[in-house]
A and B are shown apart, each in its own frame.
Chain A
Amino acid sequence: MTPDPTTTIRSDPTHLAFDDVHMAFGDRQVFDRLSFTFPPGRISVILGGSGSGKSTALRLIGGLVQPVSGRIFVDGDDITRLSERQMYGVRRKLGMLFQCGALLDSMSVFDNLAFPLRERRELREADVATRVRETLTAVGLDDAEDLLPSQLSGGMVKRAALARAIIMQPLILLCDEPFSGLDPISARRIEALLCDINRRFGMTVVVVSHDIVSTMRMAASVLVLLPDGALQGTPAELQASTDARIASFLNPDLDAAALHEVGRVEALPGRAQAGTTW
């Protein structure tokens, strides 16, 4: 599952990209002049400490929040120019796995998965059922279809939410901290599922995470959001980096110090480009 560092990563600059994005919530700056692109069809990871803005970055891609300035490209469209109505069209190409799953709590797992299919009204009910069951099998939740989300374990919630995110076979899968709150075995299982989905469907996968180890294993491209900037590269490049900030970020023994640093509220002058060595 380790991406080959020598493979040239195709970068289609408008598949999934930020261009000079400035994001803030009121007075609280999140990041400034952030630019990066993620390679199509590969797994990319956004790393950063708490409060670094990684979940916000994901929400920006999904159009759930608007940046202060800058452009965001999803499959060729600059979504900052689109109205909410038009975003609904773009979101058909996206699937999102939320941190808490965000399953509709009044419905069974089956109905939750069927929901996006039924909304589209393109499939007959029998076909909906088939698709739902196939997807449940793919994530290993065959027996859970009649359970309510409140009856599921943490790992099962994530798998169900993942199933719902991919059931429409989106172009890009966004995952907000898919491993958080899980025991190591369940976390590994999710990781395996993500890699499997990426391989099988060629879906671009963007994962927000603070777990270094799994990131290094599965990512083709890593974006690190630091308090004073952002850096991007392949896992190999990151490992080989001589930048002190990266080193302290990656080194578990220095994690405490890295976490302290991340509690900042100042604007970031960062600029990240794909494929640079530093």
Chain B
Amino acid sequence: MVNPVQRLGAASLRFVEELGRLTRFAGRIGAALLQRPLRFGRFVDELFKLGVLSLIIICLCGTAVGAVIGLQGYNTLIRFGAANSLGAVVGLSLIRELGPVLTALLVTGRAVSAATAEIGTMVVTEQLDGLRMMSVDPVHYVVTPKALAMIAVMPLLSTLFTLFGIFGGYVIGVRIMGLDAGTYMTSLQDAVDFENDVAGSLLKAVVFGILVGLIATYRGYNTAPTSAGVSSATTSTVVIASVSILVFDYFITALWGV
């Protein structure tokens, strides 16, 4: 009878310990941000790998999601004679929720496997130790540019996703269902408010970027140095990151007063 309780207690303790380590790791990344040299070149490299290479999937998925909302939205709204509000429905759904959340989930897969594989491999092949022996802080050289790139990329990709989604909704609503283009855009513009909607959306994207950036690099850095270790770390990290995104999504939505 006691055993499950004991195990739960032990698991909770380990969880809290892990959070503590994660926070200290975050602190190291933060401290590394203030150190020179700035390593801008590596930051740009990471932006490319994470941002530019994700563009296609973001644009495709964005358009698809927008189109689906357009379709579902239209079919529902038409019953209440409110089809003219389609622009608002598509826009608000994307801006407030689907843009940041779906983008984050999509990027997580790529980001985590890249980070875990690269950083994990560097641990295994002693490259990180090699850096330390050359008086270079591996967190500063490898981790910080990656983490920073993830934070920077998220709001950009999220907004692009949203815009492509609005476009997808437009294609369905206006071109296919025959709504008036002006009505679509006007209902969108009237319903969307910067403070309540767009700002919240950007905030979510940045928070998700921080979450993914931190979790992915932390796990990659602390990977067990075997190739099986690297791959199992990748899978579990994607899960952890995804759950964290959804949990934080709830809290931000609740606190932002949307």
In the complex the two chains form, is B135's CB within 8 Å of A103's CB? no
- A143 on interface, CB distance cutoff 8 Å: no
Q: Mark A71-110, 1 if CB is under 8 A from B, else 0.
A: 0000000000000000011011011101110111100000
In the complex the two chains form, is A92's CB within 8 Å of B125's CB? no
In the complex the two chains form, is B135's CB within 8 Å of A91's CB? yes
B127 to chain A, nearest CB (A): 5
Q: Which of A92-140 contact B (CB under 8 A)?
A: 92, 94-96, 98-100, 102-105, 115-116, 119, 121
Q: Mark B126-166, 1 if CB is under 8 A from A, else 0.
A: 11011111111100000000000000000000000000000
In the complex the two chains form, is A88's CB within 8 Å of B135's CB? yes
Q: Mark A55-66, 1 if CB is under 8 A from B, else 0.
A: 000010010100
Of A91, A95, A102, A121, the most chain B CB neighbours within 10 A belong to A102
Contacts of B133 in A (CB 8 A): 62, 64, 91, 94-96
Partner of B126, one of A89, A92, A100, A119: A100
In the complex the two chains form, is B130's CB within 8 Å of A91's CB? no
Partner of A104, one of B37, B127, B135, B137: B127
Q: A116-B134, A119-B134, A119-B136 are in contact. Are A64 and B129 (CB under 8 A)?
A: yes
Task: Give how many B residues have a beta carbon under 8 Å from the other chain's beta carbons.
Answer: 14
Contacts of B121 in A (CB 8 A): 105
In the complex the two chains form, is A96's CB within 8 Å of B135's CB? no
Contacts of B129 in A (CB 8 A): 59, 62, 64, 98, 102
In the complex the two chains form, is B127's CB within 8 Å of A105's CB? yes
Contacts of A94 in B (CB 8 A): 133
Of A59, A94, A98, the most chain B CB neighbours within 10 A belong to A98
Contacts of B126 in A (CB 8 A): 98-100, 102
B40 to chain A, nearest CB (A): 14
In the complex the two chains form, is B127's CB within 8 Å of A103's CB? yes
Q: Mark B18-41, 1 if CB is under 8 A from A, else 0.
A: 000000000000000000010000
Question: In the complex, A91 Cα to B133 Cα: how many Å?
Answer: 6
Partner of B132, one of A91, A103, A121: A91
Task: Name the residue of chain A whose CB is nearest to the CB of B124.
Answer: A100
Task: Name the residue of chain A whose CB is nearest to the CB of B127.
Answer: A102
Task: Name the residue of chain A whose CB is nearest to the CB of B36.
Answer: A121
Task: Name the residue of chain B whose CB is nearest to the CB of A65.
Answer: B129
Q: Which of B61-92 contact A (CB under 8 A)?
A: none
Q: A92-B135, A104-B127, A119-B134 are in contact. List 9 more A-B contacts (CB 8 A).
A: A64-B129, A88-B137, A100-B125, A102-B126, A102-B129, A102-B130, A103-B127, A103-B130, A116-B135
Q: Contact residues of B with A, CB < 8 Å?
A: 37, 121, 125-127, 129-137
24 inter-chain pairs at a CB distance below 8 angstroms, sorted by A residue, are A59-B129, A64-B133, A89-B135, A91-B132, A91-B133, A91-B135, A92-B135, A96-B130, A96-B133, A98-B129, A98-B130, A100-B125, A102-B125, A102-B127, A103-B127, A103-B130, A104-B127, A105-B127, A115-B134, A116-B134, A119-B37, A119-B134, A119-B136, A121-B37
